[in-house]
A and B are shown apart, each in its own frame.
Chain A
Amino acid sequence: MGRPRLSLPEVREMMIYVSRKMIESKDLLTQADKAVGDGDHGVGMARGFENVLKIVEQKELSSVEQIFMATGLAIMTSVGGAAGAVFGTFFRGASKNLQGAEDLTPAILSRMLQGGLQAVKKLGKASLGDKTMIDALEPAAMESLNQTSADLDEALAAVAEAARRGLEKTKGMVAKIGKAKNLGERSLGYPDPGALSTYLILNFMKEFVASL
């Protein structure tokens, strides 16, 4: 408890942990996507994070910005479909405005989530309530603003919890965008797979920091 920040090597370790856990979540995401989409989300995200793992492990990355930019590019160039564009853009957006930070602090985490949220909204034109990953990401980004003076483990716990609550709410939403839109009311009762991925990523970050 009470870790104010992660050093650069720790941020890299965190992304390796997140990647491994996302690859392990393949079946969970496949099942979630089969209910409302075409069932390729698990395979796509696993492929994306395998690529992240390779690049983050091998490439020389000398700032938080570079780690998230490399993560975004790795996802964007390997996943394809809507998920590749959205999650690639999230990490690329998250890497903007970090001004060469070499530590991950709650303030940097908040800037990351704001930057990622803005970039995804600009690209996908989705709003809260459309049953997309925005429904998990936006509450998480908002919560991060309240956590800038907390310790990093506390901040991540609060942010992941906000994403989880957002994810739960997507079960009661009718999809208004993407392939699930075509299900209309039939999408009710199921969580959005992109929101699930968003929650998982933040939750795995939390797990990593809590384990230190």
Chain B
Amino acid sequence: MKPPKKIINDPKHVVRELLEGVVEASAGRIKPLTSVQALVKTYLPEGKVGLLIGGGSGHEPLFPGFIGDNMADGAACGNIFAAPTPDLILEATRAVHRGKGVLYLYGNYAGDNMNFDIAAEMAAEAGITVRTVRVWDDVASAPPGREEERRGIAGDLFVIKIAGGAAAWHDRLEDVQRVAAKARDQVRTMGVSLAAGSIPETGEPTFELPDDEIEIGMGLHGERGVAREKMLPADPLVDKMMDRILTDLPFNHGDEVALLINDLGSTTMMELLIANRRVHRILRENGIAVHDTVIGSYCTCQEMAGFSITLMRLDDEIRRYYDLPARSLGFVKG
């Protein structure tokens, strides 16, 4: 297979250059750290609980695109699809610490878990208290009751939004951690993959999928999902995905949710809207109220084709943080 066309320079510089792009777009609100692949907010008031997010690069706007007002304070960015190193995370931790400790919020992958855990230990030795919340929203990656084995995917956005609000509001790290973990536990996502993205350094696809097949529940990096099937029309496909999501938490009659229809990289807004129409119909039929709908590219894997559906159940507390205005490159809320 021919490597796909990509608008890049030296493939070795993609992460550095994309981060430079984020900084340029921020009009001075975000700055790079000098020696490592991390970005932080330029202005961080003393006494604020820090919120540090991060993970492998190549999923933009996740993670650096979610630094901003009432969002994350900084992002530690690894190489393409690889967790950031502990020294990098530690330096970002120092940069966002304002005397009240730092919450680490990231997707539940072995590499991220280990590197952030080592960094947390180093931070403790440096006198900075760190707490951790891992996002595990992907219902396809492990059965109910084994949520801690699940991967973190597009649900990252909602948990970052809630944690960002909580970190702006509360002045105790424990409270921010509690709210973020509570939001995390109310989020469920299901994705479908139509075609692979490619690795910028090599041009190679991240997985193989026959032209006429799709994989329901496939992970961001091509991790195995729950079913490989022939291509389906939008409605039956959405029905299958929603059935899994609704029964997992489960979401019940009378619940209120925030909804995210996320493009994995190269699925059009037209397709997302067609899926969204079906999702709303299913929610209405199940007596589930939609507080807000977000549609677009938030958690991607290069030019991967496909999309995911995320629901977050709201209560009064989570809704309050959800409704706070937010400004970042990748997510804006008025």
Q: How far, in angstroms, from A82 to B86 measured CA to CA in the complex?
A: 11
Q: Does B60 sit within 8 A of A, measured CB to CB?
A: no
In the assembled complex, which residues on chain A have CB atoms less than 8 Å from the CB atom of B88? Answer: 77
Given A124-B110, A178-B110: A80 in contact with B118 (beta carbons within 8 A): no
Contact of B85 among A40, A77, A177 (CB under 8 A): A77
Say how far A196's CB is from chain B's closest CB, in angstroms. 17
What residues make up the interface of A, taking CB atoms closer than 8 Å to B?
38-40, 44, 76-86, 88-89, 123-124, 177-179, 182-184, 186
Whether the pair A179, B221 counts as a contact (CB closer than 8 A) is yes
In the assembled complex, which residues on chain B have CB atoms less than 8 Å from the CB atom of A39? Answer: 204
Q: How far, in angstroms, from A46 to B221 measured CA to CA in the complex?
A: 23
Whether the pair A89, B118 counts as a contact (CB closer than 8 A) is yes
Whether the pair A76, B83 counts as a contact (CB closer than 8 A) is no
**Among residues 52 to 96 in chain B, which have CB atoms less than 8 Å away from a CB atom of chain A?**
56, 78-79, 81-88
Whether the pair B82, A40 counts as a contact (CB closer than 8 A) is yes
Q: Number of residues in B with C-beta < 8 Å to the partner?
A: 25
In the assembled complex, which residues on chain B have CB atoms less than 8 Å from the CB atom of A124? Answer: 110, 114
Interface centre among A39, A44, A84, A89, by most B CB within 10 Å? A84
27 contacts between A and B (CB under 8 A): A38-B81, A39-B204, A76-B86, A76-B87, A76-B118, A77-B85, A80-B83, A80-B85, A80-B111, A81-B79, A82-B83, A82-B110, A82-B111, A85-B83, A85-B86, A85-B111, A88-B86, A88-B118, A123-B117, A123-B118, A124-B110, A124-B114, A177-B110, A179-B110, A182-B141, A184-B224, A186-B224
User: Closest 9 A-B residue pairs measured CB to CB?
Assistant: A182-B223, A85-B114, A82-B111, A81-B82, A81-B111, A80-B82, A77-B87, A178-B110, A182-B224
Say how far B250's CB is from chain A's closest CB, in angstroms. 25
Complex: chain B residue closest to A73, CB-CB: B87
Q: How far, in angstroms, from A85 to B116 measured CA to CA in the complex?
A: 9
Q: How far, in angstroms, from A124 to B111 measured CA to CA in the complex?
A: 9
Q: How far, in angstroms, from A88 to B83 measured CA to CA in the complex?
A: 14
In the assembled complex, which residues on chain A have CB atoms less than 8 Å from the CB atom of B114? Answer: 82, 85-86, 89, 123-124
Q: How far, in angstroms, from A79 to B118 measured CA to CA in the complex?
A: 14
Say how far B304's CB is from chain A's closest CB, in angstroms. 14
Q: Per-residue CB proximity of B274-296 to A under 8 Å, as 1/0?
A: 00000000000000000000000
Q: Which applies to chain A's interface (DSSP): helix, strand, loop or mixed?
A: helix
Q: Does B115 sit within 8 A of A, measured CB to CB?
A: yes
Q: Does B165 sit within 8 A of A, measured CB to CB?
A: no
Q: How far, in angstroms, from A88 to B118 measured CA to CA in the complex?
A: 10
Whether the pair B78, A80 counts as a contact (CB closer than 8 A) is yes
Q: How far, in angstroms, from A104 to B117 measured CA to CA in the complex?
A: 31
Whether the pair B221, A81 counts as a contact (CB closer than 8 A) is no
In the assembled complex, which residues on chain A have CB atoms less than 8 Å from the CB atom of B110? Answer: 82, 124, 177-179
Whether the pair B115, A85 counts as a contact (CB closer than 8 A) is yes
Say how far A197's CB is from chain B's closest CB, in angstroms. 15
Whether the pair B86, A81 counts as a contact (CB closer than 8 A) is no
In the assembled complex, which residues on chain A have CB atoms less than 8 Å from the CB atom of B56? Answer: 81
Complex: chain B residue closest to A124, CB-CB: B114
In the assembled complex, which residues on chain A have CB atoms less than 8 Å from the CB atom of B115? Answer: 80-81, 84-85
Whether the pair B78, A81 counts as a contact (CB closer than 8 A) is yes
